[in-house]
Amino acid sequence: MTDRRTELAGNLATVEHRIASACASAGRRRQDVTLIVVTKTYPVSDIRLLHELGVRQVAENRDQEAAPKAAECEDLSLTWHFVGQLQTNKVRSVASYADVVQAVDRPKLVSALSAAAVRTERELGCLIQVALDAESGGRGARGGVAPDGIEELATAVAGAPGLRLDGLMTVAPLAGPYAGRQQAAFERLLEFSSRLRADHPAANMVSAGMSADLEQAVMAGATHVRVGTAVLGDRPRLG
Ligand SMILES: *Cc1c(COP(=O)(O)O)cnc(C)c1O
């Protein structure tokens, strides 16, 4: 084992233990929560080690970085999640490697993703990113649609060729009424999820929780947690 492999294996075991403990506290089955490892800023060599260690779900947030990494990992069976704010001029590229786009937050993005999915003959899973701190009709500082915009986007995704409505995603707000109240924020997301599932029963993914708050996400009922630093280490500050 290389040192890095040992380090990643240890970190994964710690995260696994955290998820399993949170599931036990919440009375949930471990298999109902999926770990997505956020590999942004880390090299393909780490993705290969993670794959050897059993990771099958990875996430990236910038197309410039993700596209070449995904191309280099084409031989690995990995599901790629795109979790960053997405500009329409990047959509064609993202649609060529992403399996799930977690940051759908405006109608223009839905039509662009649909056109790209049809062109590449791929089906793209879509999560609507909800900004719990956004004003009615608005968008969040870190992307996402205000809760009253979920339904319109869900209808658009569900009716768009090449797209599959998979569920909802959020990032815990840093400001506003939910600042510092991650579990309350995630519980709110779960309420929106159950409303969504009334009309779209298959859209049952709830992506919430990161390294610092994965327990709160599991307690609230998240089906997917997105963990970066707790597995890979602290990222160098960008820019
Ligand atoms: C970077 C990132 C994560 C992972 O955050 P960590 O704190 O490193 O676990 C999760 N979700 C999104 C949208 C991210 O950009």
**pTM assigned to the model:** 0.97
pLDDT at 139 (0 to 100): 87
Q: List the residue whose alpha carbon is closest to atom 4 of ligand 1.
A: 228
What is the mean predicted confidence (pLDDT) over 45-63? 98
What is the mean predicted confidence (pLDDT) over 170-198? 96
pLDDT in tens, 12-52: 999 999 999 999 999 999 999 999 999 999 999 999 999 99
Question: How many angstroms is it from 40 CA to the middle of ligand 1?
Answer: 9
Question: How many angstroms is it from 156 CA to the middle of ligand 1?
Answer: 27
Instruction: Please determine, for residue 217, whether its predicted confidence score (pLDDT) is greater than 50.
Output: yes
Q: Is residue 89 part of a domain?
A: yes
pLDDT at 238 (0 to 100): 58
pLDDT in tens, 138-147: 888 889 999 9
Q: Is residue 239 part of a domain?
A: no
pLDDT at 2 (0 to 100): 72
State if residue 38 touches ligand 1 by the CB under 6 angstroms criterion. yes
**Atom nearest to 83 CA in ligand 1:** 13
pLDDT in tens, 144-158: 999 999 999 999 999
Q: Is residue 238 part of a domain?
A: no
Instruction: Please determine, for residue 137, whether its predicted confidence score (pLDDT) is greater than 80.
Output: yes
Residue 72 and residue 60 in contact, taking contact as beta carbons nearer than 8 Å? no
pLDDT at 239 (0 to 100): 44
State if residue 81 touches ligand 1 by the CB under 6 angstroms criterion. no
**Domain count across the chain:** 1
Torsion, CA 119, CA 122, CA 123, CA 125, rounded to 10: -100
Question: Mean of the per-residue pLDDT values for the chain?
Answer: 96
pLDDT in tens, 188-209: 999 999 999 999 999 999 999 9
Looking at the chain, which runs of residues are DSSP E strands?
34-38, 57-60, 79-82, 100-104, 124-130, 163-170, 205-207, 224-227
Q: Is residue 237 part of a domain?
A: no
What is the mean predicted confidence (pLDDT) over 119-123? 96
Q: Is residue 236 part of a domain?
A: no
CATH code assigned at 91:
3.20.20.10
Q: Is residue 13 part of a domain?
A: yes
Q: Is residue 151 part of a domain?
A: yes
- What would the two tokens of residue 144 be? 């996402």
Range of the domain at 115: 2-231
DSSP codes joined into one string, 97-133: H-SEEEEE-SHHHHHHHHHHHHHHT--EEEEEEE-TT
Q: Is residue 140 part of a domain?
A: yes
